Amino acid sequence: MIKAFENYEIWFVTGAQLLYGGDAVVQVDGHSSAMVEGMNASGILPVKVVYKGTANSSNEVADIMSAAEADKKCVGVITWMHTFSPAKMWIHGMQKLRKPLLHFHTQYNEEIPWETMDMDFMNLNQSAHGDREFGHILARMRKNHKTVVGYWKDPKTLEHIAVWQRVAAAWADSQDMRIIRFGDQMNNVAVTDGDKVEAEMRFGYHVDYMPFSEVMTYFDKVEDKDVDDLVAVYFSEYDHAPELEDKASEGYRKVWNSAKAELTLRAVLKDKNAKAFTTNFDDLGDVNVNETGRGFDQIPGLASQRLMVEGYGFGAEGDWKSAALCRTVWFMSQGLPKGCSFLEDYTLHFDGEQSAILQAHMLEICPLIADARPKLEVHHLGIGVRKEQTARLVFTSKTGDGVAATVVDMGGRFRLIVNEVRCIESKPLPKLPVASALWIPKPNFEIGAGAWIMAGGTHHSCFSYDLTPEYWEDYAEIADIEMLLINDETTIPNFKRDLRINEIYYMLNKALK
Ligand code: MN
């Protein structure tokens, strides 16, 4: 069990009926308990599964689903039909359940006991048709859910449930997600904009704004000693030039001011119970900061890098949708090995089959994706309202496969775009000392970048080495949003057809629900 998910539960409800007598239900109950126990003991599932008994009538189903809705620990429900469970009895319950649903098509017995099987055995082990009856009502109700098919002891089967559990937990995390924008969106930018009311209804995001005058009330409360302590942490955690520790140097002063910015931002985020934030490099408060000493004398890039490690979602230039999605990616990825980050398409590298896109940002890349210990450096930054010496963590990313995702507002609906990518070795940039990754979008640069652009994808993305498209499939299903996947199977003609078909599908989908 991963500690991050220990406050959550997934409920397991078994469908049955009383037609076969109370003895059969007692057996169903025993089998279900053993299965849930076995699933929890597998070590594969990050969220504990809690068996909630058999549901044998419409009222029982409705009561369990109402309880699941009301229970704060419950982040999703798994249903399984051990015997035949007439599906009309699930209608009211399924109408009540708004939390993520997984329909598990499995069977207590692994193999048919050819020699001994009788009618009693058959009546008991009836998921083969009970799960089809249940599947029908979900299809008939257009009820979003995930279907997992396989034997309950098979690790491959449990892996699919584990993915869904992580997404369900992240979905619960998203339902009270407050995102604070320090500064507004960068003027005139289209793709980072969107409908905040619809986002709150759809994803649970609450998007707030905090003016710098209010940020300064937190800044003023930061104690110098705490800043000194944080600077000491920096020097112990990151490689750095020894002269940076010279307290009389400009470099030290910049690192110190960065630490103060970090403490300020963290204090705001904690106080506001926020899970994500955005910055805007054109809006950093008082422009006379170098005279007054009150405010951010450089963009808080190092602060953003470090806050991302802690799980605060980050979006640059006011991009609150990316900030929120980065938090969700981080939340889903907890305990997984390779890391995640906010990234931006920086510049192109044409090299035939190896054509790639350099991923970086001004500074704000999460060190979780670093291939080695990051280096703390201070360099001049020539963009934004503060053209100043600026502290940052410099590194290149790990290599290997990953997934980049973004959400855009299409007007009337949100669209999730997901691209499988392959990170190849990036190189240090002596004249542009920022953290970076270098990736080749799948199936190749030409089709991958082309499809992303055609779909209206951002230049910002939420990247993870550990997530797979299956996570995003589950996420889109739970959020009930459009998803476009760009991978090795993508062709431009098919992708264009999907874009056109989706326009109609989402128009009709609204009418059907
Ligand atoms: Mn940007």
Cα 418 to ligand 1 centre (Å): 18
- Please tell me the distance between residue 228's alpha carbon and the centre of ligand 1 in angstroms: 31
Q: What are phi and psi of 359, to 5 degrees?
A: -105, 125
CA of 444 to the centre of ligand 1 (A): 23
Q: What is the full per-residue pLDDT of the chain (513 aa) written as tens digits? A: 568 899 999 999 999 887 777 777 888 899 999 999 999 999 999 999 999 999 999 999 999 999 999 999 999 999 999 887 889 999 999 999 999 999 999 999 999 999 999 988 888 888 999 999 999 999 999 999 999 999 999 999 999 999 999 999 999 999 999 999 998 998 899 999 999 999 999 999 999 999 999 999 999 999 999 999 999 999 999 999 999 999 999 999 999 999 999 999 999 999 999 999 999 888 888 888 888 888 899 999 999 999 999 999 999 999 999 999 999 999 999 999 999 999 999 999 999 999 999 999 989 999 999 999 999 999 999 888 788 899 999 999 999 999 999 999 999 899 999 999 999 998 889 999 999 999 999 999 999 999 999 999 999 999 999 999 999 999 999 999 999 999 999 999 999 999 999 999 988 877 766
How far is the centre of ligand 1, averaged over its atoms, from the C-alpha of 285 (Å)? Answer: 19
Provide the 8-state DSSP code for 186: P
Ligand 1 midpoint to CA 315 (Å): 8
Compute the distance from residue 280 Cα to the ligand 1 centre, in Å. Answer: 9
Q: How far is the CA of 232 from the centre of ligand 1 (A)?
A: 30
Ligand 1 centroid – CA 80 distance (Å): 45
420 Cα to the center of ligand 1, angstroms = 21
Are 303 and 169 spatial neighbours (Cβ–Cβ below 8 Å)?
Answer: no
| Beta-carbon contacts of residue 204 (< 8 Å; ≥ 6 apart) | 174, 175, 176, 177
Task: Write down the residue that tokens 């800044």 correspond to.
Answer: 219
Domains of the chain: 3-174 (3.40.50.10940), 178-512 (no CATH)
Distance from residue 510's CA to the centre of ligand 1 (Å): 33
SS (H, E, C) 37-51: HHHHHCCCCCCEEEE
3-state secondary structure (DSSP) of residue 201: helix
Cα(81) to centroid of ligand 1, in Å?
49
Rounded to the nearest angstrom, the distance between the alpha carbon of 61 and the centre of ligand 1 is 48
Ligand 1 geometric centre to CA of 186 (Å): 9
Ligand 1 mean position, distance from CA 459 (Å): 7
What's the confidence (pLDDT) of residue 90?
Answer: 97
333, exposed or middle or buried, with CB in 10 Å at 0-12, 13-18, 19+? Answer: buried
DSSP symbol at 334: T
Give the pLDDT confidence score for residue 445 in this predicted structure. 98
**281 C-alpha to center of ligand 1: Å?**
10
Measure the CA–CA gap between 223 and 497, rounded to whole angstroms: 58
3 state SS of 88: helix
Using the mean position of ligand 1's atoms as its centre, give its distance from the Cα of residue 513 in Å.
37
Sheet holding 388-394, edge to edge: 239-240, 375-381, 388-394
Q: How far, in Å, from the CA of 477 to the mean position of ligand 1?
A: 28
Classify 188 in phi/psi space as left (phi over 0), alpha (psi -120 to 50) or beta. left
d(CA 309, ligand 1 centre) in Å: 19
The pLDDT assigned to 33 comes to 97
In the prediction, which pLDDT does 2 show?
66
The rounded Å distance from CA 53 to ligand 1 centre is 50
Q: Which residue reads 């009856």 in tokens?
A: 133
E strand residue ranges, 86-202: 101-105, 146-149, 178-182
Q: Say what the pLDDT of residue 384 is.
A: 80
